């Protein structure tokens, strides 16, 4: 038996990277998965992997930057499956022209809507469901950029991820009396498709030194398996070879 047998887990941004890895890890513990993202085909591929391993998965595409679509998705999941025990809010994006000397108003909107607005929409959509059922767990993929400034990620991404971290802590402050727990997960660099939006391409050696999606998936599985009286408020997970630290050391030499 898995530690999450019978639990319903909704994973957003589930078609690749951290979201896919989280879905596979939670399914391995017995959870029933609902997979959401903008494109149906990648979600179906992840669902097929889960089912091939003996798990259960449902595909529910939607645009997470549209509040009405998010609300409708949450309502349909609750009606179909009866509850939502775990939310892994993982959708996000970055852009190439991310720094102040090149960023546009449209770029700012992309960063805020895909990284912060979508996370708040999803949290709001499941909040009433979790209150009514007596509790639940939310895990929000933020970033080291949610605690630090400067470096590779750009000011808009940093601002949005700082917002995600603050949002997650506010959920614990207001909803702990309702049995709702929230975790802000702050990975360092992870070898995921979002890295293709970096202005400077990364080498195979650099990618291999980073966290891999499976590493973060395992962390999310561990958080989800904690007992109800335990809240992991915030967790940093970084590669041992941390490029921002290495760059700082080299500047000292």
78-108: pLDDT as tens digits: 999 999 999 999 999 989 999 999 999 999 9
Mean pLDDT of 24-28: 98
Look at the chain and report how many structural domains it folds into. Answer: 1
What is the reported pLDDT for 151? 75
Task: List Cβ neighbours of 189 (8 Å cut-off, separation of 6 or more).
Answer: 152, 195, 210, 211, 238, 239, 242, 243
Query: Residue 1: inside a domain, yes or no?
Result: no
Query: Residue 128: inside a domain, yes or no?
Result: yes
Query: Residue 142: inside a domain, yes or no?
Result: yes
What is the reported pLDDT for 198? 67
Query: Residue 3: inside a domain, yes or no?
Result: no
**CA dihedral sign, ordered 7, 10, 16, 21:** negative
CA distances from 122 to 86, 115, 136, 157, 165 (A): 12, 11, 13, 19, 15
Q: Which of 1-5, 76-80, 211-215, 248-252 has the lowest mean pLDDT?
A: 248-252
pLDDT greater than 80 at residue 196? no
**Residue 90 is encoded by which pair of tokens?**
């993982």
pLDDT band at 245 (very low <50, low <70, confident <90, very high): confident
pLDDT band at 249 (very low <50, low <70, confident <90, very high): confident
Query: Residue 248: inside a domain, yes or no?
Result: yes
Query: Residue 2: inside a domain, yes or no?
Result: no
Rounded (5°) CA angle 48-52-55? 90
Mean pLDDT of 138-163: 92
121 tagged catalytic: no
Mean pLDDT of 105-114: 97
Of the listed 88, 157, 182, 189, which one is catalytic?
157
pLDDT greater than 80 at residue 63? yes
Query: Residue 103: inside a domain, yes or no?
Result: yes
What is the reported pLDDT for 246? 82
Mean pLDDT of 193-215: 82
Domain of 78: which CATH number? 3.40.50.720
- Could you count the other beta carbons within 10 Å of the beta carbon of residue 204? 8
Mean pLDDT of 214-240: 97
Rounded (5°) CA angle 222-71-112? 75
What is the reported pLDDT for 253? 61
Q: At 52, which helix (H) or strand (E)? A: helix 40-52
Q: Which of 105-114, 128-137, 168-177, 187-196 has the lowest mean pLDDT?
A: 187-196
Domain residues for the domain of 71 are 8-252
At residue 236, what are phi and psi to the nearest 5 degrees? -95, 135
213-223: pLDDT as tens digits: 999 999 999 99
Rounded (5°) CA angle 247-112-166? 75
Query: Residue 243: inside a domain, yes or no?
Result: yes
pLDDT band at 197 (very low <50, low <70, confident <90, very high): low
What is the reported pLDDT for 150? 80
Q: Are 245 and 144 in contact (CB under 8 A)?
A: no
């Amino acid at each position: 038996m898995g530690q999450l047998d019978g639990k319903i887990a909704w994973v957003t941004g589930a078609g690749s990277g951290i979201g896919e890895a989280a879905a596979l890890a939670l399914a391995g513990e017995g959870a029933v998965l609902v997979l959401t993202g903008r494109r149906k085909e990648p979600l179906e591929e992840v669902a097929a992997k889960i089912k091939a391993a003996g798990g259960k998965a449902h595909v529910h595409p939607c645009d997470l930057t549209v509040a009405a679509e998010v609300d409708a998705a949450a309502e349909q999941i609750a009606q179909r499956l009866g509850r939502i025990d775990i939310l892994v809010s993982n959708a996000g994006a970055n852009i190439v022209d991310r720094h102040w000397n090149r960023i546009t108003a449209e770029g700012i909107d992309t960063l805020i809507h895909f990284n912060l607005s979508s996370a708040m929409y999803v949290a709001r959509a499941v909040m009433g469901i979790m209150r009514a059922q007596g509790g639940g767990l939310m895990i929000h993929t933020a970033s080291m950029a949610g605690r630090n400034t400067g470096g590779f990620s750009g000011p808009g991404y940093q601002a949005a991820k700082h917002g995600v971290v603050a949002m997650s802590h506010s959920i614990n402050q207001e909803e702990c009396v309702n049995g709702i727990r929230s975790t802000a997960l702050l990975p360092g660099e992870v070898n995921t498709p979002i890295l293709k939006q970096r202005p400077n391409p990364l080498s195979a050696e650099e990618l291999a030194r980073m966290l891999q999606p499976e590493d973060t998936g395992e962390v999310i599985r561990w958080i989800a398996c904690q007992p109800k009286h335990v809240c992991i408020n915030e967790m940093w997970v970084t590669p041992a070879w941390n490029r921002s630290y290495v760059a700082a050391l080299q500047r000292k030499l």
